[in-house]
Amino acid sequence: MANPFDQVMRELERQREEAHAHKQAKIRAGEEASEPQPTKMKIWKGTQREFGDHILKLFASGKIKARSKTNALEQACRKYSLPDGRRMKAKSIMNSLYAKDHVEK
């Protein structure tokens, strides 16, 4: 005959595991709900340097609200892609613009 204490302990462990699994499922559901929904990308048909110049002009005029130039480019890069479908990288564009400014001076 099974010990009643062991039965109670097994039942408590089962309830704990069930509560943990339920908590994990709620966390996963919350993460999935908070993930940004994919948006249709806009196509930039110019060069990446032109894109950077354009975004920085918009940032300077106050039409893009961002913490910095790089942040403005990061925001824009999430919405635009190149004609071949590749995503643009804000840091790469920013480095290219800095190199251009350095050469022109």
**Strands 80-81, 42-43: pairing kind:** parallel
Q: Quote the DSSP letter at residue 42.
A: E
Residue 55: left (phi > 0), alpha (psi -120 to 50), or beta? alpha
Structure tokens at 63: 């039409």
Bridge partners of 81, per DSSP, are 43, 87
Q: Where are the alpha helices (DSSP H) in the chain?
A: 4-34, 48-60, 69-77, 90-104
Q: Spell out the per-residue pLDDT of the chain, length 105, in tens.
A: 568 788 888 888 999 999 888 888 877 777 655 555 566 889 999 999 999 999 999 999 999 999 999 999 999 999 999 988 888 999 899 888 888 765 454
Question: Against a cut of 0.75, is the pTM above it?
Answer: no
Q: What's the alpha-carbon Rg for the chain, to the nearest Å?
A: 26
